[in-house]
Chains A and B, each alone.
Chain A
Amino acid sequence: MSKTVKLTPPLTDKDVEVLEIGDRVLVSGVIYTARDAAHKRLVDLLAAGKELPVDFKGQILYYVGPSPARPGRVIGAAGPTTSYRMDSYTPTMLQLGLKAMIGKGKRSPEVIAAMQQYKAVYLGATGGAGALISQCIKKAQVVAFPELGPEAVHRLEVENLPAIVINDCKGRDLYELGVKEYRRTADTNIEPTVCR
């Protein structure tokens, strides 16, 4: 039976270990954003032996490129972007101690294995619910790469941001198991090739 868990970073191995696929989570506290271009910058900095603008140990990373805030507002729409584009960078981020990622869509087998190895989880937020999710964001501040515009790294303060555990640290995948329950075709080979 799935449960509802409140998560507030920094997270420990223990916080992550209790999470199972299908569990609902409500994230509160400080999280960071990064998408395609920011990931490339972060990994390039590491490769050059430079210091990162954020210490990701125990943190939650949200794959999002928000729309601009209207004057007087915290942020614009802020739903998740498709995560597979970050897959090639993710094992490196997990090695740094990142504990959870929020996005949408499938992860690669390599990422799922790295989540097992480093004890981390992947959370799915509702793709296309950008207006709804923006209501959970109480503060937003650009902390790195402002020149990337919507792709800059933001520090967000969130309250009860809803998500669901897609991959737990035991290597399980809700996208596989959930779909199996409703599939009516004989074909079991649903391994996506485009997501690699």
Chain B
Amino acid sequence: MRQIETAAITRAVKEAAIAANYDLGKDLLAALQRGEQEEESPSGREIFRQLLENASIADTERVPLCQDCGLAVIFVELGQEVQIVGGDFEQAIQEGVRQGYGEGYLRKSLCHPLTRANTGDNTPAVIHTEIVPGDRLKITVVPKGGGSENMSRVFMLKPAEGRAGVIEKVVTAVKEAGPNPCPPIIVGVGIGGTFERAALLAKKALLREVGSPNPDPELAALEQEMLQQVNDLGIGPQGLGGRITAMAVHVLMQPSHIASLPVAVNIQCHASRHKEAVL
């Protein structure tokens, strides 16, 4: 068994939370640059230009990319040969979020759902843990903004609706979201599993490098078709009209019940922030 101290986990989460909110990934920067070149609408190109400038100001002036520093969604892949020592594993992650959002001057955006009283430290984070082979611990911090999360949907389709039905639902979700989730967006799609698994797949799909093809040729083709139809909507950057509503569609799929066809659409804004740490 390889031992990992909870203190190291807290530190890793804290650093990843801060880094995610200040430094846009290289893949996203490249996608924004491509957008600035390829967008046909002048106001759309102007938005891409602003977003690139925003990323550079965030980096040099140490201002978060977006004031909505998100609810911290944490994906954990815990190697089965790892032993966590020195305290409670989940508490160590929550402490990392608390410290990161405090010391990083990040906005605390969590509240009691009914009274709306702020929890004050951006906890509790939402943690998804998977046990995997090996002796490593991989933690991915995904600060998820409310604006785009609010436009996300889960559909329980009839199997007869099939592939065309799935595409239609993805297009519907993007269409109804319109300018609200800060387009240009990234669309995470989860197909299959159960009600809750489809949603989790959709969120996980957002972690793939933007612009990289899906390793599964069937899904790669599906993504292309969805992207084409989404961009035919003409919503464009910030909803002002344009060619690029989504920079990418990412799909994850797994078998479902013979009676079901769950489809989840997790909409992600251009501030698609995620940072991983491997211990």
Considering only CB atoms, which chain A residue lies closest to B64 in the complex? A77
The distance in angstroms between the C-alpha atoms of A135 and B150, with both chains bound, is: 28
Taken residue by residue from 223 to 260, chain B's Cβ proximity to chain A (1 for < 8 Å, 0 otherwise) reads as 00000010011111011111100000000000000000
Please determine whether A195 and B178 come into contact, CB atoms closer than 8 angstroms: yes
Q: State how many angstroms separate the Cβ of B269 from the closest Cβ of chain A.
A: 6
CA distance A160 to B181 in the complex (A): 25
**How many interface residues does B have (CB within 8 Å)?**
56
Total number of A residues with any Cβ neighbor in B under 8 Å: 52
- A178 CA to B179 CA in the complex, in Å? 11
Within 8 A of B (CB), among A152-196: 164, 174-175, 177-185, 190, 192-195
Q: Is the pair B269, A132 in contact by a Cβ cutoff of 8 Å?
A: no
Asked if B83 is an interface residue, CB under 8 A from chain A, the answer is no
Residue in B closest to A177 when the chains form the complex, CB atoms: B241
Q: Which residues of A contact B66 (CB under 8 A)?
A: 77, 79, 128-131
> Would B234 and A126 count as touching, CB distance under 8 A?
no
Q: Could you tell me if B64 and A76 are in contact, using CB atoms closer than 8 angstroms?
A: yes
Contacts A126-B50, A127-B182; A194 near B239 (Cβ below 8 A): no
B interface residues with partner A (beta carbon < 8 Å): 40-41, 43, 47, 50-51, 53-55, 57-58, 61-69, 105-109, 116, 118, 120, 145-147, 150-151, 175-182, 229, 232-236, 238-243, 269-271
Interchain Cβ contacts under 8 Å between A and B, 30 examples: A36-B116, A65-B109, A67-B64, A68-B107, A70-B62, A79-B66, A81-B146, A82-B147, A105-B180, A105-B239, A106-B239, A127-B182, A128-B182, A128-B269, A128-B270, A130-B67, A130-B68, A131-B54, A131-B63, A131-B65, A149-B108, A175-B179, A178-B43, A179-B234, A180-B234, A180-B241, A184-B232, A185-B233, A192-B177, A192-B178
